[in-house]
């Protein structure tokens, strides 16, 4: 899995350098709801919870045609979309999933003939539909999906069982509107009082953060939504906000004793996907590369090499590679995606892209020059297919 970043930088030709930090990308904050509610008009009946996070087995790699290889690579990308036409174009290019951004046209969630149901009919193959909906400051299209309290408020006013029920109501609303993946709950521990974390964290106590995060994830699963724990290996003690700058955490040993505790608690209780954040962790890999691009970060999660950790074979997402300056100040998008997939990510997430085919081209080139093992890409593609199948789409 380990590949020298310098070699991959030299091997991948890039043609697009995207704008730095977009205001509504993954994890961008929004105004808290004035009238939170846990009720929705969505039906209570929900599909069986998806089985993510355990037992994935990759199929044996077989030679692919160039067209098959390109389709396989594209399936590992989750792309931000603005409206029906934009989503259709990116899905026709092979995107494995779409990301409903804060600036996306609400018709994707509401309008017959221009919504996600219509997209599925037009595309004719499985794909994921993801959104950021934590509650509080981070909740997309809450006017349609229903506003929710922040994670901190939930933990301070509800039992874990009540939070599970709250999240099930939210999950029903998401599923009713076509969403299959929610980039929540946050497992960061609000240790350093960072504004970017704050009430997005369930607690300053790592065990409480893990317990309530697991309850939230279980509620989503009960509604047929794939939950995504974030931001591994922990943003709570970082030096700053990765939306705006490169942020450094305390050394890995300190993260293992504190910030990784919620993952020990939550992953042992409720399977989910995991999102890796952009933090630099001293003692992890070269100690200079953001975790999303650092093979050692994925090795840490896969191996479970932290107190109480267990090997993880579920789906791993990157945080937004196109809307956060910890990445965009250093790498154009095609290179960032290549580095992330080469490091071990299964799904590269980016909210903005002006030339999606160029991103696919860059990854294909890295595979063909041996910088990314084809077998590694095949394993990730198999995890993606498993999640799509178990989500019912």
Catalytic residues: 243, 319
Q: Do the beta carbons of residue 249 and residue 258 sit within 8 Å? A: no
Of 171, 76, 96, 189, which Cα lies nearest the Cα of 133?
Answer: 171
Q: How far apart are CA 181 and CA 387, in angstroms?
A: 10
Q: How far apart are CA 260 and CA 289, in angstroms?
A: 19
Coil vs helix vs strand at 77: strand
- DSSP E strands in the chain: the ranges are 77-81, 97-100, 128-131, 133-135, 138-139, 181-182, 226-232, 273-276, 316-318, 348-350
Of 305, 201, 189, which Cα lies nearest the Cα of 258?
Answer: 189
Listed in sequence order, the residues at least 6 apart from 293 whose beta carbon sits closer than 8 Å to its beta carbon are 5, 327, 331, 336, 339, 340, 343
Written as six digits, the tokens of 87 are 């989503």
Look at strands 138-139 and 133-135 and give their pairing: antiparallel
Partners of residue 78 on adjacent β-strands: 97, 349
DSSP, res 303: H
Listed in sequence order, the residues at least 6 apart from 159 whose beta carbon sits closer than 8 Å to its beta carbon are none
Q: How far apart are CA 297 and CA 229, in angstroms?
A: 15
Q: How far apart are CA 13 and CA 362, in angstroms?
A: 6
**Please, is 193 exposed, middle or buried when counting C-beta atoms within 10 Å of its C-beta (0-12, 13-18, 19+)?**
exposed
| Number of other residues whose CB lies within 10 A of the CB of residue 162 | 14
């Amino acid at each position: 899995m380990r590949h020298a970043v310098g070699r991959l930088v030299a091997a991948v030709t890039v043609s697009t350098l995207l704008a730095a930090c977009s205001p509504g990308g993954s994890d961008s904050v929004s105004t808290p709801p004035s009238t939170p509610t846990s009720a929705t008009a969505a039906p209570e009946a929900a599909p069986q919870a998806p089985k993510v996070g355990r037992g994935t087995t990759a199929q044996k790699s077989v030679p692919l045609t160039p067209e098959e290889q390109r389709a396989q690579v594209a399936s590992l990308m989750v792309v931000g979309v603005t409206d029906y036409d934009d989503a259709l174009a990116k899905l026709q290019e092979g995107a494995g999933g779409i990301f409903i951004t804060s600036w996306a046209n609400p018709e994707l969630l509401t309008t017959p003939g221009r919504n996600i149901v219509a997209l599925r009919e037009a595309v004719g193959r499985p794909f994921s539909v993801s959104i950021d909906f934590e509650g509080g400051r981070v909740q997309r299209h809450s006017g349609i999906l229903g506003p929710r309290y922040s994670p901190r408020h939930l933990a301070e006013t509800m039992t874990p069982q009540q939070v599970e029920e709250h999240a099930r109501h939210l999950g029903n609303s998401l599923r009713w509107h076509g969403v299959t993946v929610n980039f929540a709950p946050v497992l960061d521990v609000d240790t350093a009082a960072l504004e970017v974390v704050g009430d997005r964290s369930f607690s300053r106590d790592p065990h409480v953060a893990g317990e309530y995060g697991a309850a939230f994830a279980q509620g989503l699963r009960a509604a047929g939504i794939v939950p995504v724990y974030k931001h591994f290996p922990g943003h709570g003690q970082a030096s700053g906000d990765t939306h705006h700058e490169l942020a450094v955490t305390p050394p890995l040993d300190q993260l293992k004793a504190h910030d990784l505790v919620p993952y020990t608690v939550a992953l042992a209780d409720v399977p989910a996907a995991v999102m890796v954040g952009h933090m630099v962790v001293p003692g992890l890999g070269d100690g200079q590369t953001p975790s999303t691009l650092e093979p050692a970060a994925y090795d840490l999660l896969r191996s479970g090499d932290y107190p109480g950790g267990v090997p993880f074979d579920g789906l791993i997402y990157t945080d937004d590679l196109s809307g956060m300056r910890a990445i965009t100040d250093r790498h154009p998008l095609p290179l960032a995606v290549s580095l992330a997939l080469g490091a071990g990510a299964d799904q590269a997430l980016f909210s903005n892209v002006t030339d999606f085919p160029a991103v696919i081209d860059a990854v294909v080139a890295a595979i063909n020059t041996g910088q990314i093992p084809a077998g590694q890409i095949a394993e990730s593609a198999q995890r993606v297919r498993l999640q799509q199948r178990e989500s019912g789409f």
